[in-house]
Amino acid sequence: MQPHINKIELKTLEDLNFDAYDEVIDVRSPREYEEDHIPGAVNLPVLDNIQRARVGLMHKQKGPFSSHLLGAQIITRNVSTLLKKHFASKNKEFKPLIYCWRGGKRSGSIAEICRQIGWQTTVINGGYKSYRKLVARTLYQNHVPFEIILLGGHTGTGKTEILENLSKFGIQSLNLEKMAEHRGSVFGRTAKDQPSQKKFESKILSAIANLDPSKIVVVEAESNIIGRVSIPPALWEEMKVASKITLEAPLGVRVDLIMAKYQSSIPQGRELTTLINKLAPFHSKDIVARWNKYATQGELSRLAFELLFLHYDPRYSTGGSLRRIFMDDLSTDTLDQRTEQFVATLKEVLPTQ
């Protein structure tokens, strides 16, 4: 007896637990998948970008019957290729979860073949669109289900290092800069391209779904814009009123940390001077010219020192803190010690943690 095709709804964060399935399969086009997808899903498109555009044009020009006929022809060929290249290695107990955009035609076509093969197959009712509704409810309409503590401090005080080290000490955190692939300033671009806004939100939703709402979550103090993406309203509203613990360190020590961590990734030549020139509205021509001179002559430590002292520190307030922690050594060897100091302070101000 052939198995049925099951359908599931995505209504709460708990519904994003897909452990019961061997694979989550997104059958939309590569362009749709690249913009955003359910985290962990693999892309097995039954229509590629050009084919999907052809089917859409046929629908406009000749109506649904002609477009469905064309789509069926293309999908049949593509599914045959997928069966040979992807599904041939799966055993008889394989249990896939499949979704498309919304209507179910693309997911239904491959789900039916999987069912006929004998695999217990499940589709997401409403597809990716139902998933985006869950994202919107969680990150735009509801309150985040946990208390936030902000980790603050001037640039170069080792906030990111401590944030990433907190899990060793049983403390939850959200690393928004890592999710955004950007360090939140003119010089904040990383080696990777930033995600789309939708993909950024998917990363946040996935992280939130794995948090214990009964415990606090540490988040680095940010502006609401990180590069070209923005922190969703529900999370940002909680961050605006959250209590903050601030790290402090001598300026020279902070420069040493920045040079040790980022020197290999600092832009060079014209790329660096282009970034410096973006700061021209905030500083005199003489200051910007001096910074460009440092950049072209490779005097990056002097450049970092003046950027911190003259640009970043005056513009980023560290006020309104519950506690301040002074750290005079930001070397890698002291990371656990610094993290322990932060965790101890956190437990002092929040003794239930």
Q: What is the tens place of the pLDDT at every residue in 4-31?
A: 899 999 999 999 999 999 999 999 999 9
- Domain end marker among 85, 112, 136: 136
Do both 259 and 309 map to the same domain?
yes
Do both 173 and 131 map to the same domain?
no
CATH number, residue 181: 3.40.50
Virtual CA dihedral for 176, 177, 182, 183, nearest 10 degrees?
150
Portion of the chain with pLDDT greater than 70, in percent? 96
Do both 250 and 149 map to the same domain?
yes
Do both 87 and 186 map to the same domain?
no
- Record the tokens describing residue 81, joined without a space: 């290729």
Q: Which amino acid is at 160?
A: T
User: How far is 196 from 352, CA to CA, in rounded Å?
Assistant: 38
Question: DSSP characters for 231-264?
Answer: --HHHHHHHHH-EEEEEE--HHHHHHHHHHHHGG
Give the tens place of pLDDT for each residue, 239-290: 999 999 999 999 999 999 988 887 766 777 788 888 899 999 999 999 999 9
Portion of the chain with pLDDT greater than 90, in percent? 72
Full-model pTM? 0.88
Do both 79 and 156 map to the same domain?
no
Give the domain range for residue 186: 145-349
Give the tens place of pLDDT for each residue, 97-114: 999 999 788 999 999 999
Give the tens place of pLDDT for each residue, 55-76: 889 888 999 898 888 888 888 8
Phi-psi map region of 47: left, alpha, beta (phi>0 left; psi -120 to 50 alpha)? beta
User: How far is 335 from 192, CA to CA, in rounded Å?
Assistant: 26
User: How far is 227 from 32, CA to CA, in rounded Å?
Assistant: 22
Confidence of residue 83 (pLDDT cuts 50, 70, 90): very high
* Contact call for residues 188 and 234 (beta carbons, < 8 A): no
Q: How many CB atoms lie within 10 A of CB 343?
A: 19
Do both 226 and 292 map to the same domain?
yes
Mean pLDDT across 327-342:
95
- Does an H or E element contain 149, and which? strand 148-153
- Domain end marker among 79, 114, 136: 136
Do both 117 and 191 map to the same domain?
no
User: How far is 28 from 37, CA to CA, in rounded Å?
Assistant: 9
Do both 113 and 220 map to the same domain?
no
Do both 131 and 177 map to the same domain?
no
Do both 132 and 231 map to the same domain?
no
User: How far is 154 from 254, CA to CA, in rounded Å?
Assistant: 9
Q: What are phi and psi of 306, to 5 degrees?
A: -70, -35
- Record the tokens describing residue 349, joined without a space: 């101000």
How many Å is the Cα radius of gyration of the chain? 25
Across the chain, mean pLDDT equals 91
What local confidence, expressed as pLDDT, does residue 31 receive? Answer: 95
- Domain end marker among 69, 101, 136: 136
- Record the tokens describing residue 225, joined without a space: 């814009």
CATH number, residue 40: 3.40.250.10
Q: How many CB atoms lie within 10 A of CB 225?
A: 13
Do both 281 and 321 map to the same domain?
yes
Do both 155 and 131 map to the same domain?
no
Does position 1 have pLDDT exceeding 90, yes or no?
A: no
For CA atoms 168, 161, 138, 105, the dihedral sign is negative
- Tally of domains within the chain: 2
- 95: helix, coil or strand? coil
In degrees, to the nearest 5, what angle opens at C-alpha 107 toward C-alphas 106 and 108?
Answer: 90
Q: Which residue matches tokens 């014209």?
A: 270
